[in-house]
Amino acid sequence: MATQLAVACSIRSLNTVRSFGHFGHLSPQRTKEYNGFKRGYNAADFAKLSVDGDTLTQGLRDLLSWRALTADTTKGVDYRDALNAILPLAEETKGQIPLTDIEEVITPENSVTWRFIRTLVEDGKIPEMEQADDAMKASILFNRVRGFGKVRALGFAEDGVRTLDELYHFKDGKWPISDAQKLAIEFHEDMERTIPRTEMQEFNVLLKDAFHKADPNLKYTIMGSYRRGENVSQDVDVVVWHESYPKKEKDEKRVHKVKPDSMMGKILTSLFNANIVEESKIFSKGPKQVFALARLPNDPNAVHRQLNIRFCPVQSLPFMLLSGTGDDMLYMKMRKRALNKGWMLNDLALGERTLDTRSSAVKEGTEVTADSERDVFEALGIPYLEPTERSYSKYKNRF
């Protein structure tokens, strides 16, 4: 099978040409909401429509949380895609966003978001929030905070908690509030604020120096919207790799403690010494992954940002870069293409699926060898996109 996959990787031009139309095919059923909205206006009137950026982004955050609390969470992905795409527009306009600009960044297939935008434009309301009682509104808010999730968000609301301040000090519930959760509550507003590209560039310089001091051979990349060239980011999402960690072993043990002399231990020490991260502001840490709050040093007014660091095996780097860079819609379509070929694409590998259809793991011995992200695109028969071309507004006309 490994040979067959290698052959598949080499069939480049033919697969690319064949896949172009199918990959970008729009579903008439899923575009019904968007098309119905546009038919209600002539072109000139539609071009005049706009929506307040803050209202739109906060509404999408609430709807994303609301959907996660309901039985059907599938549409939540659409809200997340829309939020990620609209945040740069909201930052750029600082006010009303023309719908013609939103058309450039959201696919017509995102029916739930276009329905929401239409209701917001025509009625000025969010029906789901209008119909929610105080307990549900509290649950929606708590679910937006890192580290709580559906069960706890609903549970604390049922216990009568209504505000983040009450949640921070609540002691009589089924679950204790952990230090990490208190940290998330305290800096919730900071964590929801977008990060300007200029600030991301400052972080890039600081991280480069800190990582070099941890180990001169340590390499890294900031992923997400920063790598895609966008003007804002939601967090500082970093992948690091080192020649000492060439590949993930099958029997690799899960270790939760970070030893001071380990690679992640050295990274954390360097970040502490640079005053980028404080020991008291770490959500979780392990030898392969760290979630923490970071901010620009020597500025008491600097906003706390979420910093995610993942230590990736060198062999898996193309797959980690691909999943971490996004955008979400592109990666979802690539994973779907892999499934259609009988493969599984995850952040570590591409290969045959395991027998367990619920698993996202790749069957051992069937992995596609990839030295770059381009190799992954070619294996799937999808035209290669540079990282800066991987936002929907830039690649939509190519498919």
The domain ranges of the chain are 2-25+325-398, 32-129, 132-192, 195-312
Asked whether the predicted pLDDT for residue 3 surpasses 70, the reply is: no
Instruction: Quickly list DSSP for 79-109.
Output: HHHHHHHHHHHHHHHSSEEEHHHHHHHS-TT
Q: Is 165 exposed, middle or buried (0-12, 13-18, 19+ CB in 10 A)?
A: exposed
240 DSSP β-pair partners: 220, 311
Confirm whether 2-25+325-398 and 195-312 share one CATH topology: no
Q: Which amino acid is at 255?
A: V
Q: Which of 12-21, 138-147, 174-183 has the lowest mean pLDDT?
A: 12-21
State the CB neighbour count (10 A cutoff) for residue 225: 27
Q: Return the axis-axis angle of helices 111-123 and 53-69, rounded to nearest 10°.
A: 130
Q: Is the pTM of this model over 0.85?
A: yes
Q: Residue 16: which pLDDT band, with cuts at 50, 70 and 90? A: very low
Name the helix (H) or strand (E) containing 220: strand 219-222
> Looking at residue 23, what is its pLDDT?
58
Q: Which of 77-86, 210-219, 251-260, 372-381 has the lowest mean pLDDT?
A: 251-260
| Count of beta carbons in the 10 Å neighbourhood of residue 58 | 17
Percent of the chain with pLDDT over 90: 81
- CA atoms of 269 and 237, how far apart (whole Å): 19
Architecture (CATH level 2) of domain 2-25+325-398: 2-Layer Sandwich (3.30)
- Extract the tokens encoding 162: 């209504």
pLDDT at 2 over 60: no
Confidence of residue 172 (pLDDT cuts 50, 70, 90): confident
| pLDDT over threshold 80, residue 163 | yes
Residue percentage of the chain with pLDDT more than 70: 92
Confidence of residue 256 (pLDDT cuts 50, 70, 90): confident
User: What's the pLDDT tens digit per position in 176-202?
Assistant: 999 999 999 999 999 999 999 999 999
pLDDT at 289: 97
Checking if the pLDDT of 137 tops 70, the result is: yes
User: How many helices (H) and strands (E) in the chain?
Assistant: 21, 11
Residues 6+ apart with CB under 8 A from 327: 81, 84, 85, 225, 228, 390, 391, 392
- Which tokens sit at 399? 């498919």
Identify the residue with better confidence: 49 or 172: 49
pLDDT tens, position by position, 327-381:
999 999 999 999 999 999 999 999 998 877 677 788 888 999 999 999 999 999 9
What's the pLDDT at 74?
62
pLDDT at position 73: 61
- The class that CATH gives domain 132-192 is mainly alpha
The CATH code of domain 195-312 reads 3.30.460.10
Burial of 279 (0-12, 13-18, 19+ CB in 10 A): exposed
3-state secondary structure of 196: strand
Q: Averaged over 94-111, what is the pLDDT?
A: 95
Which of 190, 177, 182 minimizes the C-alpha distance to 306?
A: 190
Decide: 162 and 168 in contact? Cβ < 8 Å. no
Per-residue pLDDT tens over the stretch 17-50: 333 344 557 788 889 999 999 999 999 999 999 9
